[in-house]
Amino acid sequence: MKLFRKLLVFSFFLLAVFTLPAQNKDSLAVVNAQWEIDSINGLVLKRYHFAHKECIQSNQFVCVLEIGPKAPYRLAFSYEPRRTPTTTHAVRHGAVAAINGSFFDMGKHHPICYLRINGEEVGENTPQAVDSVHRKYYQYGSMVIRKGRPVIFIPDSARNAERSMPDRNIMTAGPLLVYHGKLMPMRKDKTFVTSRHNRTAIGVKKDGTVLLVTIDGRMKESEGMSLQDFQKLMRYLGCYDALNLDGGGSTTMYVKGYPHEGRVNHPTDNGRYDFDGERGVSNCVLVLPREAKKQQQPQKK
Q: What is the pLDDT of residues 267-297, one digit of tens each?
A: 999 999 999 999 999 999 999 999 755 555 5
Instruction: Examine the pLDDT at 207 and tell me if it is beyond 80.
Output: yes
Can you give the pLDDT at residue 136?
93
Can you give the pLDDT at residue 23?
64
Give, as one character, the DSSP assignment of residue 173: E
CA angle 39, 42, 43 (to 5 degrees): 60
Contact between residue 242 and residue 202 where contact means Cβ atoms under 8 Å apart: yes
Cα–Cα distance for residue pair 298/167, rounded to 1 Å: 16
Instruction: Examine the pLDDT at 100 and tell me if it is beyond 80.
Output: yes
Query: pTM for the whole thing?
Result: 0.89
Q: What are the tens digits of pLDDT across the range 216-226?
A: 999 999 999 99
Q: Phi and psi dihedrals of 260, rounded to 5?
A: 60, 40
Which amino acid belongs to residue 8? L
Longest dimension (CA), the chain: 79
Cα–Cα distance for residue pair 171/116, rounded to 1 Å: 7
Residues in contact with 238: Cβ distance below 8 Å, sequence separation at least 6, in sequence order: 205, 206, 209, 211
Taking residues 51-63, what's their average pLDDT? Answer: 95
Q: How far is CA 142 from CA 34, 112, 170, in A?
A: 33, 13, 7
Can you give the pLDDT at residue 245?
98
CA angle 50, 54, 57 (to 5 degrees): 115
Nearest to 209 by CA among 77, 46, 66, 39: 66
Confidence class for position 19, pLDDT limits 50, 70, 90: very low
